[in-house]
Chains A and B, each alone.
Chain A
């Protein structure tokens, strides 16, 4: 079964450091997303990406965040200068956009701990 893969599974960083989270979406999918889940809370939309550009972003996705699809397979989320409140699970998701299904496939997440 095709899957979304994310690395690293867990990253610990010091406040103010840059972090890059990586995702390999399902190969024939066209839409890519980053979601965030603070421990014990709901999953929150961060950003959607289509056709090599951001299609929508939430209020959470401020200037500290950026996304990139540097090649045909990877999709990255960069946090330029991490804050304590950035500690969360970050989920990458991808979507084919089919008339028959709207299923978003999620990766297993990258846990970011900011100290």
Chain B
């Protein structure tokens, strides 16, 4: 019940396109859903996060869509750029601590 399932495992998107990564969870006690971006050799860095009282949050080119009834949330990267190439992890937690991570999506943006 603590699992967070993430898909796809890898994603290739053309520059300027939209990258979409999906996650699903089971534990309805989760109340904080962040996305982390990780570059090779670096630690995960918070990209954007959402709480279940809203259905969407947008920060620049990054948008989280949240569907509480379906227990799913997704990351949309608009106008994807080569610099967005990284591994993206969704996560979930209760009150923001002890993150449970998804399995990660390796995103590659091609010119």
Pick the residue among A45, A95, A108 that contacts B42 (CB under 8 A).
A108
A-B contact count, CB below 8 Å?
62
Pick the residue among A41, A97, A103 that contacts B49 (CB under 8 A).
A103
Can you list, as one digit per residue, whether each of B88-111 has a CB less than 8 Å from chain A (1) or not (0)?
010001011111111110000000
A104 lies within 8 A of B104 (CB): no
A102 lies within 8 A of B49 (CB): yes
Q: What's the nearest-Cβ distance from chain A to residue B96, in Å?
A: 2
A97 lies within 8 A of B103 (CB): no
In this complex, the member of A33, A45, A102, A103 whose beta carbon has the largest number of chain B beta carbons within 10 angstroms is A102
CA distance A33 to B98 in the complex (A): 8
Decide if the interface of chain B is mainly helix, strand, loop or mixed: strand
A51 at the interface (CB under 8 A from B): no
Nearest-neighbor residue (CB-CB) of A40 within chain B: B104
Beyond contacts A43-B101, A93-B43: 14 other A-B pairs, Cβ-Cβ < 8 A, are A33-B98, A41-B104, A42-B101, A43-B89, A45-B98, A48-B97, A91-B44, A102-B32, A102-B95, A104-B99, A106-B43, A107-B43, A109-B42, A109-B43
Nearest first, the 10 closest Cβ-Cβ pairs linking A and B are A102-B96, A106-B43, A43-B101, A102-B32, A42-B103, A42-B101, A108-B43, A103-B46, A106-B44, A109-B43
